[in-house]
């Protein structure tokens, strides 16, 4: 006890290591942040070096410590206090500035369009993409630009959760163009050996990368701004960008503007995000998508589930083994993986539209669970009921249709309703294959207004509005079917 107390005292006397914990998303990859191929426990990239430069500049032997966070959650996490500084291609937007303490812009990027080589001659901007599918990363300035273009020029925005698949889908013809930061576009082109698509010279918009801190850390933000200005002056920031091959003339111009006395740390030419209210129609549209995906998936799950359950209860040994294998594989692997396999994995064989792939993946996944519910329900019908039906001369099929099925349905109704409500919520997963449903649209909305409070509450209300009537309907049916 005394030894432990002494140890505590000794530990307390040692100064804590001075660390600047910064958050970024290594999934974003190079040149921003990526796992170091030589030592995957470490990260590298220009944002990593910017963070280190900032930590050094803050003095006191401070060093930067990386914390992995999903890119779309950087704002929320920094405000929660998970880390002090958010970096890794964080865009400068008025909403972000209003909600958080944002550093001055340290890098200028161009929103550029990528198209297939055959289209390069006739597509020069968003105006030429009326009725065409244009991909981008959700919750970005580029996505806002596409939403605006949807209303003004009629392009069809397709939102992705990552910045790799949009280019793959552009090459394969699933989308007609990609709008993203020039760094991302150039990286994608390099990965494809310089072919498959071309990047249009004329940028659609100009944006800036900034660091983001919690609103309460405005004083620290001012210190970081001072460090960034110093890094621009002494050339260390330029060296970092040159090392990662992202330096160009526009960075020099940005530095000049930032260092000019009296220049506000404001992004030049940043795209104006869509007003918060403008998201309401999108939320309504997304709710319809959620409902459609869920209803169609459930219909598929019921039909396939019935077939699987019948196979398990009535089938030959081979059929029983085959249905059992299907059910165990589907239940034993993540739905997310199944979505990827159906959408991306099968793309070489059959290029399914995203919506159809979503319905197929969800429907086939839930079919395995439905099958087990139906099997249990069929087996729960007392044997004497089946024997009574047999003595009357009904065939096995008639017994299933007239006696066993209707009785089993009553047992299955409650768990089926449960499953449908679960499916309604699981349908949020389909956003990973570009279907923008309610949760995804809410995340986009939340990122752009800089808060989850109103979008989250709205989203919850819409989900409840869909699931509660369903539970009531099921209860009413159960009451009606329950013979007194």
Closest CB to another protein among residues 367, 381? 381
Nearest to 254 by CA among 140, 115, 106, 414: 106
**Is residue 481 part of the contact set for another protein (CB under 8 A)?**
yes
Structure tokens at 9: 């005292």
Closer of 315 and 456 to another protein (Cβ): 315
CA-wise closest residue to 88 among 29, 167, 19, 166: 29
Distance of CA 269 to CAs 38, 141, 253, 376, Å? 39, 12, 13, 62
When asked if residue 4 is in the footprint of another protein (CB under 8 A), the reply is no
Q: Which is nearer to another protein, 216 or 390 (CB)?
A: 390
**Nearest distance in Å: CB 408, another protein:** 10
> For residues 100 and 112, what is the distance between their CA atoms, to the nearest angstrom?
27
Q: Tell me the Ramachandran region of residue 347: left when phi exceeds 0, alpha when psi lies from -120 to 50, beta otherwise.
A: alpha
Shortest spacing between CB 467 and another protein, in angstroms? 28
How many residues touch another protein (CB under 8 A)?
22
Binding string, residues 367-386; x marks residues near another protein by CB under 8 A? ---------------x-xx-
- Nearest CA to 99 among 80, 120, 124, 119? 80
Q: Where are the alpha helices (DSSP H) in 164-278?
A: 165-172, 182-191, 218-233, 236-243, 249-259
Distance in Å, CB of 379 to another protein, minimum: 16
- In the complex, minimum distance from the CB of residue 372 to another protein, in angstroms, rounded to a whole number: 22
- Write down the least CB distance from residue 394 to another protein, Å: 6
| β partners of residue 109 | 207
Is residue 61 part of the contact set for another protein (CB under 8 A)?
no
Q: Which of 389, 400, 423, 435 binds another protein (CB under 8 A)?
A: 389
Give every CB contact of residue 378 below 8 A, 6+ residues apart in sequence: 309, 313, 404, 405, 408
Which is nearer to another protein, 195 or 317 (by Cβ)? 317
Sole window of 146-154, 293-301, 402-410, 412-420 interacting with another protein (rule: CB under 8 A): 402-410
| Distance of alpha carbon 329 from alpha carbon 327, whole angstroms | 6
Closer CB to another protein, 96 or 404, in the complex: 404
The answer to the question of residue 478 lying near another protein (CB under 8 A) is no
Measured distance CA(91)–CA(111) in Å, rounded: 11
Bridge partners (DSSP) listed for residue 135: 158, 178
Q: How far is the CB of 411 from another protein (least distance, A)?
A: 11
Which of 410, 418, 422, 477: binder of another protein (CB under 8 A)? 410
Nearer to another protein, 122 or 480 (CB): 480
Cβ pair 99, 75 in contact under 8 A: yes
Give the number of other CB atoms < 10 A from CB of residue 414: 15
Q: Which string of b and e fits 49-78 if b means at least 16 CB within 10 Å?
A: bbbbbbbbbbeeebebebeebebbbbbbbb
Near another protein by CB under 8 A: residue from 63, 130, 233, 390? 390
Nearer to another protein, 194 or 382 (CB): 382
Return the closest-CA partner of residue 228 out of 122, 141, 103, 143: 103
When asked if residue 403 is in the footprint of another protein (CB under 8 A), the reply is yes
From candidates 256, 328, 396, 478, binder to another protein by CB under 8 A? 396
Interacting residue with another protein among 388, 457, 460, 465 (CB under 8 A): 388
Distance in Å, CB of 407 to another protein, minimum? 5
Q: What is the CA radius of gyration of the chain?
A: 28
Residue 393 in the binding site for another protein (CB under 8 A): yes
N-terminal to C-terminal alpha carbon distance within the chain? 68
Interaction of residue 476 with another protein, rule CB under 8 A? no
| Position among 394, 413, 470, 474 found at the interface with another protein (CB under 8 A) | 394
Tokens matching residue 107: 């890098």
Longest dimension (CA), the chain: 98
In the bound state with another protein, the residue whose beta carbon lies nearer, of 131 and 484, is 484
Which of 98, 337, 392, 457 is in the footprint of another protein by CB under 8 A?
A: 392
| Window contacting another protein (CB under 8 A); options: 11-19, 105-113, 284-292, 394-402 | 394-402
Among 269, 398, 465, 473, binds another protein (CB under 8 A): 398
> Exactly one of 407, 427, 434, 448 binds another protein (CB under 8 A); which one?
407
Nearer to another protein, 329 or 388 (CB): 388
Which CB sits closer to another protein, 87 or 389?
Answer: 389
| Short-list 303, 287, 109, 115, CA closest to 208 | 109
Quote the least distance from Cβ 338 to another protein, whole Å: 36
Residues that bind another protein (CB under 8 A): 382, 384-385, 387-396, 398, 402-403, 406-407, 410, 481, 483-484
């Amino acid at each position: 006890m005394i030894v432990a107390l002494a140890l505590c005292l000794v530990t307390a006397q040692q100064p804590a290591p001075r660390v600047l914990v910064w958050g970024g998303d290594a999934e974003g990859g190079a040149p921003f942040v990526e796992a170091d191929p030589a030592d995957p426990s470490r990260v590298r990239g220009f944002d990593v070096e910017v963070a280190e430069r900032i930590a050094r500049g803050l003095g006191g032997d401070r060093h930067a410590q990386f914390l992995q966070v999903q890119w779309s959650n950087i704002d929320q996490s920094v405000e929660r206090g998970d880390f002090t500084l958010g970096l890794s291609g964080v865009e400068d937007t008025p909403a972000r500035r209003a909600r958080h303490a944002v550093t001055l812009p340290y890098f200028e990027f161009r929103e550029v369009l990528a198209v297939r080589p055959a289209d390069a001659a006739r597509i020069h901007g968003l105006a030429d993409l009326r009725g065409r599918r244009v991909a981008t990363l959700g919750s970005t300035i580029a996505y806002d630009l596409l939403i605006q273009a949807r209303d003004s020029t009629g392009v069809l925005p397709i939102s992705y959760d990552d910045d790799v698949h949009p280019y793959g889908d552009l090459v394969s013809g699933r989308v007609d163009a990609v709008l993203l930061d020039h760094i991302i576009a150039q990286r994608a082109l390099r990965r494809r050996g310089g072919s498959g698509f071309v990047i249009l010279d004329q940028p659609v918009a100009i944006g800036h990368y900034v660091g983001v801190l919690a609103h309460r850390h405005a004083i620290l933000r001012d210190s970081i701004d001072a460090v960034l200005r110093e890094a621009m002056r002494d050339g260390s920031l330029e060296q970092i960008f040159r090392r990662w091959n992202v330096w160009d003339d526009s960075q020099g111009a940005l530095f000049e503007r930032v260092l000019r006395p009296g220049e506000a740390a404001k992004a030049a030419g940043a795209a104006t995000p869509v007003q918060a209210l403008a998201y309401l129609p999108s939320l309504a549209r997304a709710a319809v998508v959620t409902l459609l995906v869920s209803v169609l998936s459930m219909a598929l799950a019921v039909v396939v589930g019935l077939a699987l359950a019948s196979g398990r209860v009535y089938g030959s040994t081979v059929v029983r083994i085959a249905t059992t294998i299907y059910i165990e594989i589907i239940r034993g692997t993540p739905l997310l993986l199944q979505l990827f396999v159906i959408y991306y994995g099968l793309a070489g064989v059959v290029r399914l539209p995203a919506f159809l792939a979503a319905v197929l993946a969800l429907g086939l996944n839930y079919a395995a669970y439905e099958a087990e519910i139906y099997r249990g329900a069929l087996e729960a019908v007392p044997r004497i009921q089946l024997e009574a039906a047999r003595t009357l001369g009904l065939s096995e099929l008639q017994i299933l249709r007239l006696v066993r099925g209707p009785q089993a349905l009553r047992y299955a109704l409650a768990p089926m309703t449960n499953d449908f409500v679960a499916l309604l919520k699981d349908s949020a997963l389909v956003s990973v294959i570009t279907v923008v449903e309610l949760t995804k649209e809410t995340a986009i909305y939340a990122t752009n207004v800089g808060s989850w409070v109103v979008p989250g509450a709205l989203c919850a209300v819409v989900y409840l509005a869909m699931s509660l009537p369903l539970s009531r309907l099921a209860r009413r049916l159960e009451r009606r079917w329950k013979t007194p």
